[in-house]
């Protein structure tokens, strides 16, 4: 999916400036392509700002990061890019700081966890554009048949999984630690155990005591007791787990809003609750975000900033979020959505956003660390594995990558 949306103004007009945005496509067909969303945004902006033209190129998620990388490499950086990661460009001093671009009101409106995740050395370069959190999904029919209630703690989750296994459920709890999205499942469990990827000052803390205890519990109390299905978690990918849940073969798993549509389409009834923690609801769930950034190369700071203030208006953020069933990144739009959709299924994800924790995406080392987690984390729950040792190996690689920045 690639297409250019040219602004309405005449490019040769005196004093006109053209800014270029490369954006990702959130649609799954031509009918709901992001091209339509951006066309409306550009139309409204240019009406208010006739001296600024905006050209938007939309690419699929498979291509957009690579396209921007190639443009930057050729010395043809776009003015704005809405893609998956910003830290490498910030480290190369190619990006404007957010406060050089946005009005104070716009910058202050970002949800705090998302704004903080957009920082490198406490300076915000990445502006969150779309966000999501995770909840524990459970199959309501399987739970009803086994006379179960949704789990609120690890102990309750294990008890439910045992009951489901006794009734012949193929995968009582799906634990996808395969390479597709292992960092997500890993972080959700770390957070529910009181740990995380980093400590309070932002340094990698992958082999913390809390994290080691979490994976020892998974090894002994879920995987070791045969509660995660016949396939080793290290070989189970998220897409496979989601598909199995949508076939009614999974009792419980961690999921994001996309799974709601997948399950509903297949007629699977489900419920969603916050992630269980050691002794009750986890203190935080995992959040994710996609990013907007502004490149310095063309010198269009003022024009890009004016466009971004318009993009992040409550109206536009709400329209985008409602169109694609994702969470708003601003407080004003979140509050408006909560009033309108607070009691809907999406509203449950929205409630978890203010306390969510994201990947340490502000670190340029994160890509290497993430790859190491994908390769190795599944081994922590193998029979006779030593989670502390494996987490220590990942930590050592993370420290080396961090020190090399």
Q: Write down the pLDDT at residue 342.
A: 58
6 pLDDT higher than 80: no
Task: Look at residue 276 and give its three-state secondary structure.
Answer: strand
Alpha-carbon distance of 268 to 265, in angstroms, equals 8
State how beta strands 119-120 and 123-124 pair. Answer: antiparallel
The more confidently predicted of residues 383 and 14 is 383
Please count the CA atoms within 13 angstroms of the CA of 75 that sit on its side-chain side.
0
List, for residues 191-243, the tens digit of each pLDDT value: 999 999 999 989 999 999 999 999 999 999 999 999 999 999 999 999 999 99
Note whether 57 and 20 are within 8 A (CB): yes
pLDDT bracket for residue 1 (50, 70, 90) = very low
Alpha-carbon distance of 85 to 366, in angstroms, equals 10
pLDDT bracket for residue 15 (50, 70, 90) = low
Q: At what angle do helices 387-403 and 366-376 cross, to 10 degrees?
A: 160
CA dihedral (331, 334, 339, 343) positive or negative: negative
Q: What are φ and ψ of residue 355, in 5° steps?
A: -110, 10
Alpha-carbon distance of 359 to 332, in angstroms, equals 24
Alpha-carbon distance of 18 to 13, in angstroms, equals 11
Q: At what angle do helices 209-217 and 387-403 cross, to 10 degrees?
A: 140
Q: Write down the pLDDT at residue 5.
A: 58
Alpha-carbon distance of 22 to 2, in angstroms, equals 10
Take residue 82 and report the two structure tokens written for it: 């809405």
Mean of pLDDT over the chain: 93
Alpha-carbon distance of 181 to 176, in angstroms, equals 8
Alpha-carbon distance of 285 to 191, in angstroms, equals 7
Q: What are φ and ψ of residue 298, in 5° steps?
A: -90, -5
Q: What are φ and ψ of residue 251, in 5° steps?
A: -80, -45
Note whether 82 and 129 are within 8 A (CB): yes
Alpha-carbon distance of 285 to 236, in angstroms, equals 21
Cβ atoms within 10 Å of 50's Cβ, excluding its own: 14
For the chain, percent of residues with pLDDT exceeding 70: 95
Alpha-carbon distance of 80 to 104, in angstroms, equals 19
Least confident residue range of 109-118, 280-289, 336-345: 336-345
Alpha-carbon distance of 113 to 359, in angstroms, equals 11
Q: What are φ and ψ of residue 5, in 5° steps?
A: -105, 105
Secondary structure (DSSP) of 61-91: TTTHHHHHHHHHHTT---SEEEES--HHHHH
Q: Write down the pLDDT at residue 404.
A: 82
Residue 386 Cα to chain centre, angstroms: 29
Query: Which residues on adjacent β-strands are paired with residue 138?
Result: 252, 271
8 pLDDT higher than 50: no
Task: Look at residue 297 and give its three-state secondary structure.
Answer: coil
End-to-end CA distance of the chain: 34
13 pLDDT higher than 50: no
Alpha-carbon distance of 275 to 152, in angstroms, equals 7
Using the structure block, give the residue that is written with the tokens 């704004």.
Answer: 115
Q: Mean per-residue pLDDT for 49-71?
A: 94
Alpha-carbon distance of 80 to 18, in angstroms, equals 12
């Amino acid at each position: 999916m690639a297409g250019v949306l040219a602004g309405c103004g005449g490019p040769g007009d005196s004093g006109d400036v053209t800014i270029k945005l490369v954006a990702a496509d959130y649609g799954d067909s031509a009918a709901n392509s992001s091209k339509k969303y951006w066309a409306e945004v550009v139309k409204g902006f240019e009406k208010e700002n006739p001296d600024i033209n905006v050209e938007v190129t939309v690419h699929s998620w498979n291509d957009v990061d690579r396209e921007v990388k190639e443009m930057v490499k050729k010395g043809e950086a776009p003015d704005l890019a809405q893609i998956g990661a910003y830290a490498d460009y910030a480290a190369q001093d190619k990006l404007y700081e957010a406060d050089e671009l946005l009005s104070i009101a716009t910058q202050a409106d970002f949800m705090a966890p998302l704004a903080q995740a957009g920082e490198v050395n406490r300076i915000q370069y990445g502006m969150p554009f779309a966000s999501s959190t995770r909840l524990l999904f459970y199959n309501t029919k399987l739970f009803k048949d086994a006379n179960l209630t949704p789990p609120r703690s690890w102990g309750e989750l294990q008890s439910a999984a045992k009951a489901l296994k006794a009734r012949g459920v193929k995968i009582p709890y799906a634990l996808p630690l395969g390479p597709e999205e292992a960092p997500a499942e890993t972080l959700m469990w770390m957070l529910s155990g009181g740990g995380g990827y980093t400590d309070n000052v932002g340094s990698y803390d992958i082999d913390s005591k809390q994290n080691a205890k979490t994976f020892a519990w998974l090894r002994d109390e879920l995987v070791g007791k045969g509660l995660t299905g016949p396939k080793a978690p290290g070989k189970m990918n998220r897409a496979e787990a989601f598909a199995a849940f949508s076939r009614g073969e999974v009792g419980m798993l961690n999921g994001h809003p996309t799974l709601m549509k997948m399950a509903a389409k297949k007629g699977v009834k489900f419920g969603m609750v916050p992630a269980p923690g050691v002794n009750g609801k986890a203190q935080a769930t995992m959040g994710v975000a996609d990013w907007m950034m502004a490149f310095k190369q063309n010198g269009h700071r003022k024009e890009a900033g004016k466009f971004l203030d318009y993009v992040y208006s409550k109206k536009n953020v709400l329209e985008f979020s409602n169109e694609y069933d994702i969470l708003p990144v601003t407080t004003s739009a979140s509050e408006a959505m909560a009033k309108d959709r607070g009691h809907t299924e999406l509203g449950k994800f929205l409630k978890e956003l203010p306390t969510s924790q994201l990947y340490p995406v502000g670190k340029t080392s994160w890509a290497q660390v993430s790859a190491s987690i994908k390769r190795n984390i599944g081994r922590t729950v193998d029979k006779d594995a030593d989670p502390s040792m494996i987490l220590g190996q990942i930590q050592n690689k993370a420290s080396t990558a961090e020190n090399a920045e």
